[in-house]
Structure 1
Amino acid sequence: MKVLLLFFTDPRRAFSSSVAALAAVVREAGHEAIALEIYRKFRIDHVAAHIEALKPDVIGVSSMTRDWPGASALLLALDRNRSGDGDGDGESAPRPFVVVGGYHASLAPQDVAGCAAVDAVCIGEGERPLRTLLGRLAAGDRALPTGPGLWVRRPGGWTDPVPPADPVPDIASLPRWDYDVFGEVSQIIDDGINTFGPLADGFLPTRAGRGCPFTCAYCSAPRWGKLQDFASRDKRNARPVAHLCEELADLRDRYAPEGFEFWDEHFPLDLAWLRELAEEYPRRVGLPFKVEMHPSAASRERLALLAKAGCVLFHCGIEAGDESFRRDVLNRRTPDAKLQQVFDDCRELGLETSASLMTMLPGETRTHTRSTTDLLHRLRPGSFMWSTYHPLPGTVLGDAAVARWPSPARETFDDYDEVQTLTPPLVDANERSETFFELGQLQTQLVQIAAKRVDATHAELVGEGTPRRRARPVEIPMPKRPAPAGLAALLGLAAPNAELTGARAGLVSFEQGVLRVEIDHPLVAGADPWEVRIAPLDGSRHFIEAAKVGLSYRGREAPTELLETLRSMAAALGDVGIEQLRGALD
């Protein structure tokens, strides 16, 4: 059978640890595995046509919560297309069996089951349920029983109760990840698929264990741990050190990575395990590696053992700068003094540092976001990454915030109505923009510092002069400001045209390659202005197109007057590109 495994990315990254694990199961069972990366800016109809051309027998979807509106829209589009694919005598094309797994399917299975195109939902770890599923389908049996880890739609619907997760397997008994399913591995490594640190480098993702012992209020890991009963496992199902080192040595010899980056939910904590790693890894593998660990667990002894083993970068989440907010809202109980000690210890031990944080958290104020920037300046990580909070099912914060999850997406995978949260951040649009600008500016400074250091100290090159280590592309989000006259002229929103249409440019901002323009119009006098988004044509959803950019409006329908304004703007833009518009902001 041909098994198509879908995964979603933003930014682009041609690798998924979930798909790597499942593709190994597919191939071990004797079937063909195909991995398909879906960037969230892609058009749904284009991806659906590509999938139809592949003619898979089974479609497996690995979906996070933010990906599900787009994934469900894609599956429904495939179903609609098949219903019209008859050969003239009323028969439709064979229908692939569709199974959905991942965090959202495991923690909100009823939401996934609400998609009419889904045949089965995988609950928890998916390797063994997928193997069982493929065995039955290969034998011609589509009337699968619901069992541990696999909830199956019956002819009468989802009549079986949601099953428990499959008992977590011994991780050492599972097949090794399949890296080759993503294409030429050496090219993927050179493209930079690593997560931690300011540089895109040649580190290869891997995993030492599963599970996390902490109970952060925003995170799915505690609920996942309960599903899989990780709480009773002192080592969180860590692989034996000898087993891990044997595989990493093979990967070193086969793919020649620069090092390894561990994508565990939490790196193993057991001191005996770490002591063994510190002795065996340098001898048997010898490449540098990076890890992620909760700062409360980062004792000086553990950090010293990691450094001895060959760790070169330590990553941890700081999440928010206000200590009371971290403790009371996020259930992150690491005090500022401990965070400072961890980062100081890392510097003394020669470990580079990386941090992650969130903003726009429930109840967060502008004072809170400033404290986050202040904490970053005090801790002095070598780099950091930040994200906007998104509520997740099965979490303390998510269950308190969301009455229902979004409906399927529309034209692109990221084009859906955002979650209507009951616990929003306490910042206005300008404060949000200021926060993003401050974080983006600091992030860029750290990346530039790292890039200069690499240019000065790393002479190794790959291929015809292409540096294997290079700075990550980071864009500083531009805070809202009044539209400059030059930009308004390019958009056709300056006099005399504005006097004819009634539309004028208000505040503008630039973020993630998109120009956002607030349009003041007599129709919305006294109300919020329209927000028009202008982006390159490739991969974006647009109402109106100019030669090089498209114009869109957030929402299901645009008023007639707004569409007329968009057409007028498109005509004025002509062949102006996004870079020229960005330049007009300066």
Structure 2
Amino acid sequence: MRFMFVYPNITRPKTPQMGILALGSHLLHHGVDVRVCDLTFHEAGQWAGYVMAEMERWQPDIIGISLRTLEFSATLPVLEALRKNKGNRLLLAGGPHATFVPQELAPLVDYGVMGDGEDACLAVARAMAQGAPERIRDLPNIFFQYGSELVKNPVGPLFDLSNSPAPRYELFDARHYTQHCFLRLVPQAGVCGVFEGSRGCPYLCTYCSNSALMDLSKGAGKWRREKSGSQLRREMDLFRSAYGMDMMYLVDEVVMTTDHRTDELREHLHDLKTPFVFMERPELIRENRVRDLKEAGAYSCSIGIESGNEAFRRTILKRNMPDQKILDSYRLMQQHGIRTHAFVMMGMPEQSELVMRDSIRLLQTIQPDSAQATTFYPLPATELYTKVLAMDLFDPKIRPSNYYSLSSLNYPLSHKRKIAMYADMVNLELWRDSPVRRLAVRICMILPRVFGLVRWYMTSPRGYVRYQSIRRMSAKQFLGKIWEKLTSWQR
């Protein structure tokens, strides 16, 4: 039995798709032959042709395509080509978009998988191998189109991560490790290992589909699941023996869940002496846990701020952490020599310009080592998705290819430009603690037209050369330059 996964990577960062890695490894462990048709290294316009060529070359029995919402539009030609030319092969869809928008995918595929896919994909492969494809309709986690009706089967037990087989890293092109998008974070790093240590984020942020996934899986078993420290270490040793390894990326939404967990990771990882990057919630960051992870090799931690306005975080985002907790979490990381990266979102509903300004101000106070701002996009099955639809702010058919485009919501153009400006302020690091940058932020807040000039100085080659001279100016000289530009425009 041959199973071919299709990996549509619209933004094309070099990193393995961990869902496909887990499913492919599970199938291989149980005797199914697996290949990954990786679209990372091909332009979107070439995807359909490449997938068709791979299908003809390898002759799979089952084709599974993993989809996230922002990839759906670019992947639609691939789905249509597969639907038309697949012959007797089974076409299967999975991933977040299949889980939360099954009605959109069901007419395009034979079956879809909701939630954890290990047991469902294996059951589908076994049904096909036994010549009984009709049994697929009764399997847990499966959905399909039956005439005009969408049929969604109940979900089965959540997958127990302790039963995960050794990951088959060779399923992905080695460039996903030797040219990984995070290698730039650790000096001289040449190979990045990527590992999943847990599943099941315990939080209910309104912009995230996690709460919908929890509802879908209610009664299916323990939501928060963690691999043991020894199991995770075996996977790391396996990767290192095959590729070498200078750094690691832990994809877990949260890591510091308990004192026991961080102590366990310290015990099993400290002698590996390999720096790793990870993500964390401010509420979970405590000094003893930070100390444990530092000894385990923690190099950089990404901590979500999302909004610098405490009331907005609490009422709109359901992120119930005070500003002081955020400040303390960054301070603890910095005191223990762990670099910090901040996540911020701009353009959320009811996020006024004053609220966006608070994010800049909080970053100016925290001074993380790096930060990034994304433009809010309402993901299906989230609370904010329902909210923007009710406010008539959103057309679900509009899907950008990334989270850095102009806002997709039905805001006035002037507000969309303000959203883009504040996001760019974060990404251009205007929050850095320097007099010129602080002055630039204040001027742009008062006179947004000036920001175009600031962005030019920060991003264009000629502008960057001039920006280096500006850095040496006094505040008075800098204001004089800005005034000179403004008066020249008016003339």
TM-score range, shorter chain: 0.7 to 0.9
Counterpart residue identity of residue 54, structure 2: L
Aligned residue-pair number: 433
What's 1:48 paired with?
A: 48
Tell whether 2:194 aligns with 1:190: no
Are 2:69 and 2:96, in contact at CA under 8 Å, matched by a contact in 1? yes
* Equivalent-residue separation in structure 2 for 1:362 and 1:231 (angstroms): 33
What's 1:151 paired with?
A: 143
For residue 4 of structure 1, report the CA deviation from its aligned partner.
2.3
* Equivalent-residue separation in structure 2 for 1:157 and 1:511 (angstroms): 54
Structure whose residues are more often helix by fraction:
2
What's 1:391 paired with?
A: 378
* Equivalent-residue separation in structure 2 for 1:170 and 1:70 (angstroms): 33
What's 2:233 paired with?
A: 245
What's 2:436 paired with?
A: none
Are 1:73 and 1:408, in contact at CA under 8 Å, matched by a contact in 2? no
Alignment counterpart, residue 134 of structure 1, candidates 125, 140, 159:
125
What's 2:474 paired with?
A: none
Are 2:157 and 2:220, in contact at CA under 8 Å, matched by a contact in 1? no
Tell whether 2:90 aligns with 1:97: yes
* Equivalent-residue separation in structure 2 for 1:439 and 1:166 (angstroms): 43
- Seen in structure 2, the aligned counterparts of structure 1 residues 135 and 203 have a Cα distance that, compared at 3 Å, is same
Question: What CA deviation, in whole Å up to 9, does each residue of 1:349-387 have, x standing for no partner?
Answer: 111111212111112222222221221121111112221
What's 1:353 paired with?
A: 340
RMSD of aligned C-alpha atoms?
A: 3.6
Counterpart residue identity of residue 366, structure 1: E
* Equivalent-residue separation in structure 1 for 2:380 and 2:132 (angstroms): 33
- Seen in structure 2, the aligned counterparts of structure 1 residues 20 and 195 have a Cα distance that, compared at 3 Å, is farther
Alignment counterpart, residue 223 of structure 1, candidates 196, 202, 212:
212
For residue 168 of structure 1, report the CA deviation from its aligned partner.
0.9
Structure 1 unmatched ranges of 5 or more? 83-92, 447-478, 485-507, 514-586
For residue 296 of structure 1, report the CA deviation from its aligned partner.
1.1
For residue 78 of structure 1, report the CA deviation from its aligned partner.
3.3
* Equivalent-residue separation in structure 1 for 2:425 and 2:76 (angstroms): 36
* Equivalent-residue separation in structure 2 for 1:112 and 1:278 (angstroms): 43
- Seen in structure 2, the aligned counterparts of structure 1 residues 43 and 290 have a Cα distance that, compared at 3 Å, is closer
Alignment counterpart, residue 113 of structure 2, candidates 94, 119, 122:
122
What's 1:37 paired with?
A: 38
What's 1:109 paired with?
A: 102
Question: 5 Å matches for 1:141-290?
Answer: 141-143=132-134, 144-154=136-146, 156=147, 158=149, 160=151, 162-183=152-173, 185=174, 187-194=175-182, 197=185, 201=189, 202-229=191-218, 233=222, 236-283=224-271, 285-290=272-277
Structure 2 unmatched ranges of 5 or more? 434-447, 461-491
What's 1:342 paired with?
A: 329
TM-score under structure 2 length normalisation? 0.78
Question: What CA deviation, in whole Å up to 9, does each residue of 1:376-427 have, x standing for no partner?
Answer: 1211111122211111122111122237974598xx978xx999757x5996
For residue 280 of structure 1, report the CA deviation from its aligned partner.
2.6
* Equivalent-residue separation in structure 1 for 2:294 and 2:329 (angstroms): 13
Q: Which runs of 4 or more aligned residues in structure 1 lie more than 6 Å from their structure 2 counterparts after TM superposition?
A: 417-420, 443-446, 479-484, 508-513
* Equivalent-residue separation in structure 1 for 2:155 and 2:322 (angstroms): 35
The residue matched to 1:151 in structure 2 has which SS?
strand
Counterpart residue identity of residue 141, structure 2: G
Alignment counterpart, residue 58 of structure 1, candidates 43, 62, 80:
62
* Equivalent-residue separation in structure 2 for 1:95 and 1:418 (angstroms): 42
Are 2:6 and 2:66, in contact at CA under 8 Å, matched by a contact in 1? yes
* Equivalent-residue separation in structure 2 for 1:175 and 1:341 (angstroms): 39
* Equivalent-residue separation in structure 2 for 1:391 and 1:139 (angstroms): 42
Question: What CA deviation, in whole Å up to 9, does each residue of 1:480-537 have, x standing for no partner?
Answer: 89999xxxxxxxxxxxxxxxxxxxxxxx999999xxxxxxxxxxxxxxxxxxxxxxxx
Tell whether 2:347 aligns with 1:365: no
* Equivalent-residue separation in structure 1 for 2:407 and 2:61 (angstroms): 33
The residue matched to 1:442 in structure 2 has which SS?
coil
* Equivalent-residue separation in structure 1 for 2:248 and 2:169 (angstroms): 13
* Equivalent-residue separation in structure 2 for 1:426 and 1:441 (angstroms): 22
- Seen in structure 2, the aligned counterparts of structure 1 residues 361 and 245 have a Cα distance that, compared at 3 Å, is same
Question: Which is greater in Rg?
Answer: 1
Question: What CA deviation, in whole Å up to 9, does each residue of 1:428-473 have, x standing for no partner?
Answer: 2432342233123108979xxxxxxxxxxxxxxxxxxxxxxxxxxx
Alignment counterpart, residue 73 of structure 2, candidates 69, 72, 78:
69
Identity between Structure 1 and Structure 2 (%): 23
